[in-house]
Amino acid sequence: MLLLTALVAALYWPSLAALGAVWGSDRGTYSQGYLIGALSLWMLGQRGCETSARLQPNIAMLPVVLALGFLWLICARAGIQTAEALLLPVILWAAIRAAFGAAVARAAVFPCAFLVLAIPVWDPLSAPLQALTTQVSAGILRLAQVPNQVSGNFIHINAGTFEVAAGCSGLSMLLVGLAIAGLYGEMQSQPVARRVMLFALAAAMSLLANWIRVAGIIYAGYLKGMHTTLVRDHYGFGWVVFAVMLIGFFPLARRLAGASAAPASPAAPDGPAAGRFGVAVSLILAALAIGPAWQLAAEWREPPHVTANLPQDPGTHWTGPGDAPRGWAPQFPGADAERIGVYARGEQRVTAFTAVYAVQRHAKKLVGYGVEILGADETLLSRKRIDVGGQPLVEIEAESPGNRHAIVWLRYTVGGRHFTSGWWAQLGYGWGSLFDSPGSSVMLLRAQCDGSCEAARTSLTKFVTDTRALAGT
């Protein structure tokens, strides 16, 4: 089984390497990933020995392996790394099921699922946990007779102000706690209901440890001032609190788990007859390799030549494009071409921006980390789909300091197809790039709400109608 795992890792190495970069990043949220990966490998080896795993290829699983490889391929072409990574343990399990049969696959469910705790799908929990940690920590401080005020994720005390940053949300402790609970339940061969209770216990105690950590750091600042060592360097303190939590977790877990359940005995082989053995193994290996091989071939394809175009000499009383305005500079990392300019018609002003990609991949795509549509000091007020002259667009209303508002219209284009959803545009690129090299672009049109956002919408509508600015995007 470990040999098959190594083969899957080699075939899907780009996704595994991207995961390794996340585990080794300075964020620290997923730094436990290396240990979780090692434990998964160890458990797979153990389960292989316990079930006397031997090749029992099942060609009925071929469509599943092919479908999963194809999904991975689309996500890889679209540059959606989290989806790629999430498919890895599923592909590994499907390969085990196809190669070794149902009994071994049942034993491999947990080692494969355990990997999900090392995949960055948990980030959406960070913001709510951050807000919860702020409120609960402030409550703990009040119980300790420390007067404080909360604004956003900041806690103000007499000695100074503490920010409960994203790294203090407790997500990292939560994931480590869940990993410990999952491993404990697996080692004790607990039924599903008891494992769920162990997960709930670990989650509650991990979050409690983080709340105590944050409140303890602020309390130290309250007693000894903002420059005390614990306030300036509190990373180690958090894990000391977590270790103390574990001392309480294991006795409670033993009470909750009760006696270990007996492991299930292996089922009878369900593979093909001996004459078809070699053919079945070859087909399974080919099904595993098709997705990575296609991705490699697509990477060698010649990219198209792209240019960033804005309406030139628009006529109909519009002039431009003029020099780019200050204060608004959309960010699309890795774009192969960009252009921005201002158009004027009497008192009306519209700023147009376009970014074009010949090829998209991770950190070089229409949607993702680093992409910024609004200015640094602007806040998103609303985002909705609209229709302008039969053309679907996204309208964004933003607010900047001084109660200044702006309207931004947005549309994505991939290979001549238009999208209002960035993620559908990414998937559209993933599909289209399987067979071709489609260019991708985004068009942004912006007007300031000088007194009325309806006037800004009128300016945008007039610009789109007069200049056909969206006709070529």
**Tens-place pLDDT, residues 122-138:** 999 999 999 999 999 99
Q: What one-character-per-residue DSSP string does 105-174 give?
A: HHHTHHHHHHGGGGSTT-GGGHHHHHHHHHHHHHHHHHHTT---EEETTEEEETTEEEE--GGGSSHHHH
The reported pLDDT for the residue numbered 304 is 84
For residue 429, tell me if it sits in a domain: yes
Is 266 a residue whose pLDDT tops 60? no
For residue 309, tell me if it sits in a domain: no
The reported pLDDT for the residue numbered 59 is 82
Both 233 and 331 in a single domain? no
Q: Can you give the residue range of the structural domain that contains 347?
A: 319-467
Q: Which of 337, 369, 333, 371 is nearest to 354 (CA)?
A: 337
For residue 143, tell me if it sits in a domain: no
For residue 13, tell me if it sits in a domain: yes
pLDDT in tens, 457-469: 999 998 888 887 7
Among 220-229, 363-372, 424-433, name the one with the lowest average pLDDT.
Answer: 220-229
Both 292 and 358 in a single domain? no
Beta bridge partners of 410: 394, 444
Over residues 292-319, mean pLDDT: 85
Q: Which of 92, 107, 86 is nearest to 61 (CA)?
A: 92
Under the banding of pLDDT at 50, 70 and 90, the label for residue 292 is very high
Both 203 and 326 in a single domain? no
pLDDT in tens, 160-188: 888 888 888 889 999 999 999 999 998 88
**Total number of domains constituting the chain:** 2
Both 291 and 386 in a single domain? no
Under the banding of pLDDT at 50, 70 and 90, the label for residue 340 is very high
Both 119 and 213 in a single domain? yes
Percentage of residues in the chain with pLDDT exceeding 70? 93
**pLDDT: which is higher, 222 or 25:** 222
The reported pLDDT for the residue numbered 265 is 46
Over residues 107-123, mean pLDDT: 92
Both 422 and 338 in a single domain? yes
For residue 350, tell me if it sits in a domain: yes
Both 268 and 339 in a single domain? no
Distances (CA, A) of 301 to 185, 358, 392, 441: 48, 11, 32, 19
User: What is the distance between the alpha carbons of residues 146 and 138, in angstroms, rounded to a whole number?
Assistant: 9
The reported pLDDT for the residue numbered 315 is 72
For residue 171, tell me if it sits in a domain: yes
Both 270 and 397 in a single domain? no
The reported pLDDT for the residue numbered 354 is 93
User: What is the distance between the alpha carbons of residues 237 and 390, in angstroms, rounded to a whole number?
Assistant: 59
Both 292 and 441 in a single domain? no
For residue 138, tell me if it sits in a domain: no
Over residues 103-132, mean pLDDT: 92
Mean pLDDT score of the chain: 86
Q: Which of 174, 154, 211 is nearest to 29 (CA)?
A: 174
Domain termination site, one of 264, 296, 328: 296
Over residues 305-332, mean pLDDT: 83
Among 106-115, 259-268, 294-303, 341-350, name the one with the lowest average pLDDT.
Answer: 259-268
For residue 333, tell me if it sits in a domain: yes
User: Within 10 Å of residue 238's Cβ, how many Cβ atoms?
Assistant: 21
Q: Which of 119, 264, 110, 118 is nearest to 195 (CA)?
A: 110
Both 11 and 94 in a single domain? yes
Is 291 a residue whose pLDDT tops 80? yes
Under the banding of pLDDT at 50, 70 and 90, the label for residue 384 is very high
Both 67 and 13 in a single domain? yes
Tell me the range of 20-29, 264-273, 430-439 where mean pLDDT is highest. Answer: 430-439
The reported pLDDT for the residue numbered 472 is 56
Over residues 145-149, mean pLDDT: 89
Both 180 and 274 in a single domain? yes
